[in-house]
Each structure stands twice: as C-alpha cells, then as structure tokens.
Amino acid sequence: MPRVSRAEAERRRRQVIDSTARLIREKGADQVSVPQAMATAGLTHGGFYRHFASKDDLVAQALGAAFAERREAMDHLADEPAAEGRTPRAEFLARYLSTPHRDNPGQGCAAAALAADAARAEPGTPLRTAFTAGLRDLVDGFQYLPDPAEREAALADLSTLVGALLLARASEDPALSAEFLAAARHRLSAPTPAPAADADAPSV
C-alpha cells in the first residue's frame, strides 16, 4: 500500500478537524465518538491515531477551528460593504442574532454551542482550555471591530449575544424564540447613554 504524502496527511487531518468542529457544535462534544468523527470526514477509524493523540486532542483542535472560523468572519466585516449602511458591529449583531444562525448551530458560534460542555469540564482539560482561549479571541475580535468598544462593553455585549442565542435555541415556542433574538438586537442596537454627571463634582 503506497505511503500517504505529508500534504495528503495534512489535508485529511484538516478534513477531520473541520467535520468534527461542525459535529460538536451540532451535538455537543460528549455525543460525538471517534468513529463518527472519522466517518463524517470520509475516513476510517483505523487512521485516527496517525493524526491525533486522543479524542480530547481532536475535540480541542476542532473547538479551536470553530472559534477561528467565527473570528475570521468578524475580521472580514471590515472589508465588506455593510447592508443598509450598518456599521461592522451592527452587521455582526444582525448576523449573530438571526434565524439562520439560531437554526444552524453546526455552522455557528462555538461559544453558544459548547458553553454548557465547557462549564461541565474540569479546569485544565483540553476542552475547557481550548474554549477559554477561543473566548478570549472572540472578545478581542468584537472589541476591535472598526467601530471599537471598551473591553467591559464588549464582554457585556457578547454575554447578551450568547445568552440570547442559547435561550432562542432552547425554546420550543417559535414566537418566544424569535422574541429573544429581537429583544437582544434591540437592546444592543440602542444608543449608549451618556454617563450621568457626578452630583458631588464641582461645577465649571
């Protein structure tokens, strides 16, 4: 049997990572087996350990790929014409809090799809570590869109985005699900109020 070239081996490894990134966002990390991950990539189970040290290693790499996909989409917003004159931030909000994103978790944000998995994982495990690294990168990406936000505002906004998407997906009532998305869009699109004047500050 001919040996596989290094380039072909890398192509297959990326194929497994990308297909697993979709699977774990659809089903959760615990619900994806190694044979299932390999089969989805069109490969046999026997070749798994030529590419990955363990299932945990695969999941961590797939999670990193899923976060990188979201960050790349954010970075591209600066180069795309925003719909209806929206800013890059407004465009990101509209896409994130949309029905297609809600209904297609396998192609969506890893933060919303795998937050519960990461919360249950022990600190220091590959899943928890990869999730935390992905979160940091996501916050940085959101904070430094062309219309930047302070870090605290970026953290609060992303918390609202992820929470609204999670609740919208969890609700079996279509109307309630849509309300969560619409309410978050409205809240995050509202102008930030100016800070109140300090009553104790001396007048000038």
Closest Cα partner for 178 from 104, 102, 90, 119?
102
Indicate the number of domains in the chain: 1
Closest Cα partner for 147 from 102, 105, 189, 198?
189
Residue 151 lies in a domain: yes
Residue 6 lies in a domain: no
CATH code where residue 98 lies: 1.10.357.10
pLDDT number for residue 204: 35
Residue 30 lies in a domain: no
Residue 36 lies in a domain: no
Q: Record the tokens describing residue 99, joined without a space.
A: 């029905």
Q: Has residue 193 got a pLDDT over 60?
A: no
Q: Has residue 194 got a pLDDT over 80?
A: no
Is the pLDDT higher at 204 or at 88?
88
83: domain range? 56-189
Q: Record the tokens describing residue 89, joined without a space.
A: 């931030």
Q: Record the tokens describing residue 126, joined without a space.
A: 């590959």
Residue 138 lies in a domain: yes
Q: Record the tokens describing residue 65, joined without a space.
A: 């790929």
pLDDT number for residue 9: 81
Instruction: Tell me the average pLDDT across 70-98.
Output: 83
pLDDT number for residue 1: 42
pLDDT number for residue 183: 97
% of residues, the chain, pLDDT over 70: 89
Is the pLDDT higher at 43 or at 46?
43
Residue 9 lies in a domain: no
pLDDT number for residue 2: 53
Average pLDDT for the chain: 88
pLDDT digits (tens, 9 = 90+) for 105-136: 999 999 999 999 999 999 999 999 999 999 99
Residue 23 lies in a domain: no
Q: Cα 117 vs. chain centroid, distance in angstroms?
A: 13
Is the pLDDT higher at 68 or at 147?
68
Residue 180 lies in a domain: yes
Rounded CA-CA distance 75/26 in Å is: 24
Q: Record the tokens describing residue 184, joined without a space.
A: 């978050």
Q: Record the tokens describing residue 112, joined without a space.
A: 């919303």
**Cβ neighbours, 10 Å, residue 10:** 12
Percent composition of the chain: helix, strand, coil (DSSP 3-state, to 5): 75, 0, 25
**DSSP symbol at 198:** P
Instruction: Tell me the average pLDDT across 170-181.
Output: 98
Instruction: Tell me the average pLDDT across 25-34.
Output: 94
